[in-house]
Amino acid sequence: MTISLLIPVCDYDIAALVQSMKDCIGNIPEFIEILIGDDGSSPENKARYKLLEGEGVRVIVSEKNIGRAAIRNKLALEAKGDFLLYIDSDAMIPGTAEVYINKWISAMGSSRVICGGVLYHESPPSDPDKMLRWKNGRNREQVKASDRNKHPYTSFSTFNFLIDRTIFEKLRFNEEIKQYGHEDTLLSYQLNKAGIKILHIDNGLVHEGLESNRDFLNKTKLSLENLSKLYNSVTDKKTFTSSVKMLRIYKWIRIFRLRFIFVWIYIRFREKMEIRIDSSVPHLWLFDLYKISMFITFREIHQRRKLLPLFRF
């Protein structure tokens, strides 16, 4: 069984990541190539990526930005390996590339879809404007495999995962998703529906690309809006809900008829919550409340509820 490493990228410096992986090509027989998916990067970065070519490294170019789903599908079409190893461009290996690749090889016989996990530096960033992203990552995203395997579909992430190409060819990323967020949630739902098991292992990569507080808040908004739209579009809402923690929370809020309380909280306190969250000492409980109230507001809007007449201040 062979592995192709696929790195979708748009205007991000991946030289260190690719150089750290290059030596494994030839030294580990199963690891046969690295494909860089240039998704409409600037001419300067296109030139930098081209310099990385050779010795099993290829650049697959899209002249315009086609989106996270489409560039990943394009990479899969070009790959030669039996398994596709996707990692995000802002990832970095915490140890050696050889140890990292060999962990995947050891796990390939156990499952056809495997997640390695995400790690964050132990020390907080020197830039206080990146504290929200780091704190959320350390406390919400960095989870041991033993815990992720308790809820394998909920914990699925495309940041660092391996998938049998025959499975990927049947499912693929949904290219209709143009806006940021929850591409991995939809793929997890498809795997769940197809009865394909996900195995989680401790083979994490460090997430280096920390956004500013404000950028992370904006991405959170796009992500939750996307999740609400996806919920409307899926046919099996029960299975989809079981795979997403936010939807499970939403289900209970609906059962207890508390939706409009959370909508009121969002409309009334959104700006104040954002000011408190966008700080050097963000409180994650407040960020959680912010996300839940925002998502429920999106749900009411997407169900064409007339909210404004109900909430006048």
Extended strands (E) in 177-232: 199-200, 205-207
**Banded pLDDT at 14 (limits 50, 70, 90):** very high
- What per-residue confidence (pLDDT) applies to 178? 62
Q: Which residue range forms the structural domain that includes residue 233?
A: 216-310
Task: For residue range 139-153, list pLDDT tens digits in order.
Answer: 999 999 999 999 999
Strand-pair category, 199-200 with 113-115: parallel
**Do residue 153 and residue 223 come from a single domain?**
no
Domain boundary (210, 234, 259) is at: 210
**Do residue 55 and residue 117 come from a single domain?**
yes
Residue with tokens 């050891």, as numbered in its chain: 106
Write b or e for each residue in 192-231: b if 16 or more Cβ atoms lie within 10 A of its Cβ, otherwise e. bbeebebbbbebbbbbbebbebeebbeebbebbbbbbebb
Give pTM, 2 decimals.
Answer: 0.93
**Do residue 112 and residue 256 come from a single domain?**
no
Task: For residue range 49-59, list pLDDT tens digits in order.
Answer: 999 999 899 99
**Do residue 180 and residue 161 come from a single domain?**
yes
Task: For residue range 97-125, list pLDDT tens digits in order.
Answer: 999 999 999 999 999 999 999 999 999 99
CATH number at residue 130: 3.90.550.10
**Do residue 96 and residue 234 come from a single domain?**
no
Domain count of the fold of the chain: 2
Kindly state the tokens that stand for 244.
């997403």
**Do residue 146 and residue 115 come from a single domain?**
yes
**Do residue 221 and residue 87 come from a single domain?**
no
**Banded pLDDT at 313 (limits 50, 70, 90):** very low
**Do residue 117 and residue 180 come from a single domain?**
yes
Residue 306 clears pLDDT 70, i.e. is over it: no
- The neighbouring-strand residues paired with 294 are none
**Banded pLDDT at 182 (limits 50, 70, 90):** confident
Kindly state the tokens that stand for 161.
């995962």
**Helix intervals (H) in 84-179:** 97-107, 131-136, 145-148, 165-171
Kindly state the tokens that stand for 96.
């050696």
Q: How far apart are CA 10 and CA 45, in angstroms?
A: 8
**Do residue 63 and residue 92 come from a single domain?**
yes
Q: 2, 105 in Cβ contact below 8 A?
A: no
**Do residue 57 and residue 161 come from a single domain?**
yes
- The neighbouring-strand residues paired with 8 are 37
**Do residue 287 and residue 256 come from a single domain?**
yes
Residue 3 clears pLDDT 90, i.e. is over it: yes
Domain boundary (146, 178, 210) is at: 210
* Torsion angle, alpha carbons of 223, 228, 234, 235, to 10: 160
Strand-pair category, 205-207 with 91-92: antiparallel
Residue 311 clears pLDDT 60, i.e. is over it: no
- What per-residue confidence (pLDDT) applies to 88? 97
- What per-residue confidence (pLDDT) applies to 52? 96
Please state, rounded to an integer, the average pLDDT across all residues of the chain.
94
**Do residue 199 and residue 235 come from a single domain?**
no
Domain boundary (193, 210, 227) is at: 210
* CA distance between the termini of the chain: 63
Task: For residue range 66-79, list pLDDT tens digits in order.
Answer: 988 999 999 999 99
**Banded pLDDT at 310 (limits 50, 70, 90):** very low
